[in-house]
Amino acid sequence: MQSGVFHTTYGKDMALQQSSWQKWRLGLVLAALLIFPFVADNSQLYLANTIAIAAIGAIGLNILVGFTGQISLGQGAFLGVGAYASALFTGRLFELFGGTGGTPFLVSILLAALFTALVGTLFGLPSLRLKGLYLAIATLAAQQIIIWIITHTPKLTGGESFSLRPTLLFGLNMNQNGDFRFYWLLIPIAILVTLAATNLFRTRVGRSFVAVRDRDIAAEVMGINLFRTKLLAFAVSSFFVGLAGALLAHYRLVISPDRFEIGTSISFLAMIIIGGMGSIAGSIYGAAFITLLPALIESLGRQVSNIYPNIDTMLPYIQQGAFGLVIILFLIFEPEGLAKVWHNIKNYFNLWPFSY
Amino acid sequence: MAQLSVDDITLRFGGVTAIANVSLTIEPGQIYAIIGPNGAGKTSLLNCISGVYKPQHGRLVFEGQDMASLRPYDIARLGIARAFQNIALFRGMTVLDNLLVGRHIHMRSGVLSGMAFWGRARREEIEHREIVEDIIDFLEIEAIRKQTVGSLAYGLRKRVEVGRALAMAPKLLLLDEPMAGMNAEEKEDMARFIIDINQERGITCILIEHDMSVVMDLSDQVAVLDFGRKLAEGTPDEVKANPEVIKAYLGEELAIEHVE
Ligand SMILES: Nc1ncnc2c1ncn2[C@@H]1O[C@H](COP(=O)(O)OP(=O)(O)OP(=O)(O)O)[C@@H](O)[C@H]1O
Ligand SMILES: [Mg+2]
């Protein structure tokens, strides 16, 4: 029986996947991810892709809120910054100056993420003086200002809606059979982001983020420059959020300001609350949960529609009600989120049958 | 040359004078105790030394450098570490990670190399993990190294608090009531650790402590604060014999165990 995990070197002790059971589990997940696109239909692929993008964004938000303790209500707008920036870089920015060219897709999403990091850092400046609720209000202002800018610069952003050129990757049109093709792009990027964020929090900078969250004065007395660290957290967080936004834009090909409103910020906060604050895995669980919940309710609704014919008109309300209810239930019963639930289940079986 | 000289500092909070014209000289290698009743200004003095508060008047000089313009994170880099009176650990982190934060100023890796966890970042993590494990062995907290500090008993947390400061490899260690609330056995352990820190690691210690027998045993020099003023300073024997100290403080307090 496995009574614990022991290590002979610190290098091994730091490895991410420690027991052979964990390696097996990882292998199974990867195998499932490889098989999935060949057995799933387009709407299922669409959900998987949406989850991958949401997971990248939720990891970004969790870095700031869950790990560094800086509340942000501006997530939606930062997604928008990434989306519009990449849309501009791949085309319209050139058209504005009479050109026809565009930045290659991969370069463009990277630039868009960097640009969002810059904007995020700028709107992180109030975190020097503001904490908690006051910082939340300041980021709400950021949310409104950014959306205002997007809707009031139609030359740049197309105003109501913005159509992108098809996404070309090494000459391949990614938007043809888009759900399938994008899957092979989005899943690897989501995996890379997950790895990068996990690594971040087992090294120097990530620890300084958590230190600032837990005890800012003690962190400062230990040599951590609070302001620089908070700004860095805003930058890293916004980088991933911007990346998610850029990917969303190229996947959907049409973007409009209403996708990036405060409601989006709230959904992302819900993801990390339900998934688990300060947990990378939790960000992914939360992204999956919040993406699947409305889809699940809709398909349930369709099944009972011959019994309750009016269910269609009520669906949006049921979805919103369920959304609110789930957040409240998690806040009350499992504030550490799905990550904690999963952790408890694993622990139970790790020591099974002697789990008391 | 004095390692730290506190020169005539005064610290006020609105109408309250927490420290009034206090001067102290701490020599390298000393265990320097600061005693005094509750509210005497002991913690405030440490806050001035670590830069959390800036005195309105007077000067602090550490190894020849004026500290007036230094922020707390600069002072950490000069080699001053602190264990807080009201435990200020990073609750959500493991013991190991708390101590590794102590290594922050000695590490280099940034966001990108950290995310890659490759090359320097990885080497650096292993190298500093070894240093931290030494401290964990020294403080005899091997068994709890992977526990989240929020779940630890009070006495252990105090020990981790000292370990985290020690991980900074400071030249001067500020210990604010490291034994408060401990039982006799835990106090003895802590006293032994402080002696080792001072003698084997050669770290100067400023020790705030209410337990007089501990203070008299451990310290080379003692300063007595009362209502923000320095009442007396000298070797433990001198201080014990000082009539003012006996009158104002030791007289009633010596026999009484402090309960925090
Ligand atoms: N941040 C603050 N704001 C206002 N007053 C303060 C502050 N910090 C300390 N004081 C006041 O300064 C005086 C000295 O407090 P300090 O904490 O330095 O005492 P102490 O000697 O450490 O006491 P104890 O033995 O209880 O720890 C007290 O009157 C206290 O109320
Ligand atoms: Mg005190």
ipTM of model: 0.92
A230/A125 Cα distance (integer angstroms):
9
What percentage of residues in chain B have a pLDDT greater than 70?
A: 95
Average pLDDT over residues B2-19: 94
Confidence band, pLDDT 50/70/90 cuts, at residue B259: very low
Q: Which residues contact B258 (CB under 8 A, 6 or more apart)?
A: B180, B210, B211
Q: Which of A217, A223, A226 sits opposite B76 (nearest CB)?
A: A223
- Tokens representing A268 are 């992302």
| pLDDT at position A234 | 96
What class is the B1-79+170-260 domain? alpha beta
| pLDDT at position A256 | 92
Is A333 part of a structural domain of the chain? no
Please list the helix, strand and coil fractions of chain A in percent, rounded to the nearest 5, in that order: 75, 0, 25
Nearest ligand to the CA atom of B48: 1
Is A165 part of a structural domain of the chain? yes
- Cα-to-centroid distance, A317 and ligand 2 (Å): 56
Of A114, A217, A221, A347, which to mutate for an interface test with B (greatest number of B Cβ within 10 Å)? A221
Structural domain boundaries enclosing A246? 35-260
Chain centroid to CA B154: how far?
17
Whether residue B18 is predicted with pLDDT greater than 50 in this model: the reply is yes
Chain A touched by B129 (CB under 8 Å): yes
Among A309-318, B63-72, B75-84, B174-183, the least confident range: A309-318
Is A42 part of a structural domain of the chain? yes
Enumerate the domain spans of chain B: 1-79+170-260, 89-168
Closest residue by Cα to residue B31 from B237, B199, B249, B180: B199
* Dihedral pair phi/psi, residue B24, rounded to 5°: -140, 150
Nearest ligand to the CA atom of B53: 1
Beta strand segments in A25-180, E: 162-163, 168-169, 172-173
| pLDDT at position B181 | 87
| pLDDT at position A5 | 55
**Contact B184 CB / ligand 1 (< 6 Å):** no
- Tokens representing A74 are 């501006």
- Measured over all CA atoms, what is the biggest interatomic distance in chain A, rounded to whole angstroms? 72
B47 CA: nearest ligand 1 atom: 18
- Cα-to-centroid distance, B55 and ligand 1 (Å): 14
| pLDDT at position B191 | 95
A-to-B residue pairs, Cβ atoms closer than 8 angstroms? 117
Is A346 part of a structural domain of the chain? no
| pLDDT at position B242 | 86
| pLDDT at position A352 | 58
Does B129 sit within 8 Å of A10, measured CB to CB? yes
**Contact B16 CB / ligand 1 (< 6 Å):** yes
Is A175 part of a structural domain of the chain? yes
Separation in Å, CA of B68 to nearest CA in chain A: 15
Beta strand segments in A132-211, E: 162-163, 168-169, 172-173
Whether residue B250 is predicted with pLDDT greater than 60 in this model: the reply is no
A131/B87 Cα distance (integer angstroms):
22
Mean pLDDT by 10 residues, chain A (356 residues): 59 74 87 94 94 98 96 94 93 71 88 97 89 89 93 83 84 85 96 97 96 96 96 97 97 93 94 94 95 87 78 80 85 84 76 54
Does B93 sit within 8 Å of A211, measured CB to CB? yes
Is A283 part of a structural domain of the chain? no
Residue B136 exposure: Cα atoms within 13 Å on the Cβ side: 21
Is A352 part of a structural domain of the chain? no
Is A13 part of a structural domain of the chain? no
Residue A28: what residue type? L
- In chain A, how many domains are there? 1
- Tokens representing A266 are 């709230």
Sign of the C-alpha dihedral, residues A92, A98, A104, A107?
Answer: negative
Q: Which residue has the higher pLDDT, B94 or B253?
A: B94
| pLDDT at position B90 | 96
pLDDT, tens digit, 9 for 90 and up, residues B121-166: 899 999 999 999 999 999 999 999 999 999 999 999 999 999 999 9
